[in-house]
Amino acid sequence: MITTVIVLYAAKKSKTVQFQDFDKNVLLKIFPLPLLYVGNHVTGLASTKKLSLPMFTVLRKFTILMTMILEAYILRKTFPKRLVYSVVTIVFGAMIAASSDLAFDVEGYTFILLNDAFTAASGVYTKKKLGDKGLGKYGVLFYNALIIVIPTVLASAFTGDLHKIAVQSCFAFVLIFFRFVLMYSIVLCSHYNSALTTTVVGAVKNIAVAYIGMFVGGDYLFSWTNFLGLSIW
């Protein structure tokens, strides 16, 4: 977030990019994106800790269904039947996998479903905010990061996580760089496509994560029903 603020501020000053100057209306324009962003990451990290990688990735597929519902409700979008059938098939596979999860964890499932809801809402509201001519894609990125960077740093310092990152500074730098690239690419994808498209594209990477996670980590409990559900989506 600090990297995002610094890079975009420098780009704005050098007139490389343009977005609205800060005023009291910015907070209203950007709300509730900062809250959704924080909720997304907190529940995402909590659910990753509780669930195996394959189950984490398959349960993330409910984000696609939630995004489609929110787009229809908030953005008033309609979808062709073949797309709806595809989403239903993905969710059906996730339900099969979940029904035979031998390592079922109530807390983990709660966190992952909350994470799905935060992710879906964040994607839809990002698309909605991108329609604001004053903010634009760079304004959305900049003010979202600016508003939440201070409470996030304070929370990290309070929990001791900030010190851990400072100790592992080289690794942290790599994470910071790729996180900035990820944040920008998500907003850019949402700018040119729908929130649903961004969600589906983001889920493609999880195919490799799910299968690799069966062999890495040691916390996946195999069953044929679960494996079938994982493979369907």
CA-based nearest residue to 22, from 131, 126, 146: 146
How confident is the model at residue 92, as a pLDDT?
Answer: 80
Least confident of 24-38, 114-128, 216-230: 216-230
199 compared with 168, residue with greater pLDDT: 199
CA 213 remoteness from chain centre: 19
Q: CB under 8 Å to 194, separation ≥6 — which residues? A: 71, 77, 127
What sign for the dihedral angle of Cα 136, 138, 139, 140?
positive
Given a cut of 70, whether residue 76 has pLDDT beyond it is yes
How confident is the model at residue 121, as a pLDDT?
Answer: 92
How confident is the model at residue 83, as a pLDDT?
Answer: 84
Q: What is the dihedral of CA 177, 178, 181, 185, to 10 degrees?
A: -170
Given a cut of 70, whether residue 213 has pLDDT beyond it is no
In the structure, what pLDDT confidence band is assigned to residue 123 with cuts at 50, 70 and 90?
confident
Summarize pLDDT for 24-63 with one digit per residue, the tens: 888 888 888 888 988 888 888 888 877 777 677 778 888 8
In the structure, what pLDDT confidence band is assigned to residue 94 with cuts at 50, 70 and 90?
confident
**What is the C-alpha to C-alpha distance for residues 233 and 231, in angstroms, rounded to an integer?**
6
Q: Six-digit token pair at 70? A: 């929110």
Q: CB under 8 Å to 182, separation ≥6 — which residues? A: none
How confident is the model at residue 152, as a pLDDT?
Answer: 81
pTM (2 decimals)?
0.69
Mean pLDDT of 112-116: 90
Given a cut of 60, whether residue 18 has pLDDT beyond it is yes
Summary mean pLDDT of the chain = 79
Summarize pLDDT for 151-160 with one digit per residue, the tens: 888 877 787 7
